[in-house]
Structure 1
Amino acid sequence: MCQVFISADPQLWAHRSRSIRLHGVATSIRLENLFWQVLAEIATRDGFTVPQLCTRLYDELVAERGAVDNFSSFLRVCCTRYLALQLSGEIPQDMRVPIRSLSPQAGVRAALRH
């Protein structure tokens, strides 16, 4: 079983930090390269840059939850949910379909099943 996972390109789990401005405040986000790649894919689908996507996600999280304890972990979960929702068919594989055009209830229904 482990061979399936350890045969992955080591660059995927190498991490890097990026400095992103959230409302004028510079913050450093450290993620593995695989997560940066997934964030770039999500951002591209909706016509955002990765910093714009991160700002949007941060704003929506603050509006919904009021506080952000660990934004890097939140971004990892966003990426993992995005991939899982693609596999379940809740998010189309077609990159021309923006995420913002999808019903949030579909993602909630999929999460409740898992």
Structure 2
Amino acid sequence: MCRMFAGQDPERYELETRSMRLNGQSTSIRLEKSFWRILDEIAANEDVTTPAFVSKLHGEVLELHGEPKNFTSLLRCTCLVWQDAQNAPQTDQIAAE
């Protein structure tokens, strides 16, 4: 079983740092390339740039919960939540049939 995970392309978990502005402050965010690809996809789906999406998410989290203790963890979990939503059965479509 572990070979499936251990044998993955190392580029998937290679770290990538991107610079952007959050609430007017310049910052750098370091995530695995796999997570950046998902965030890029989410942003494209929202018709915004990835920095704009990340900044908007940060602002909304500040409003709801205050400053997150670990924003990069929040970004990773955002990717998982989005993928879960993409994989969930479309109950509206099923009900319409």
Q: Residue by residue, what CA displacement relative to the aligned partner does 1:23-52 show, whole Å, maximum 9, x if unpaired?
A: 321111110000000000000001011100
Q: How do 1:29-44 residues align onto structure 2 when only pairs under 5 Å count? A: 29-44=29-44
Q: 1 CA distance for matches of 2:89 and 2:42?
A: 16
Aligned position for 1:64: 64
For residue 83 of structure 1, report the CA deviation from its aligned partner.
Answer: 1.1
Q: Residue by residue, what CA displacement relative to the aligned partner does 1:62-98 show, whole Å, maximum 9, x if unpaired?
A: 11102221111100000011112212236xxxxxxxx
Query: Paired residues, what number?
Result: 90
Query: Deviation above 3 Å: which 4+ runs of structure 1?
Result: none
1:46 aligns with 2:46: yes
Bigger drift between 13-22 and 30-39 goes to 13-22
Q: 1 CA distance for matches of 2:18 and 2:75?
A: 13
Amino acid across the alignment from 1:8: Q
Aligned position for 1:6: 6
1:20 aligns with 2:20: yes
Please list every run of 5 or more consecutive structure 1 residues that lacks an aligned counterpart in the other structure.
91-114
For residue 7 of structure 1, report the CA deviation from its aligned partner.
Answer: 2.4
CA RMSD of aligned residues (A): 1.2
Identity %: 38
Please list every run of 5 or more consecutive structure 2 residues that lacks an aligned counterpart in the other structure.
91-97
Q: 2 CA distance for matches of 1:8 and 1:86?
A: 22
TM-score, normalised with respect to structure 1: 0.74
TM-score, normalised with respect to structure 2: 0.86
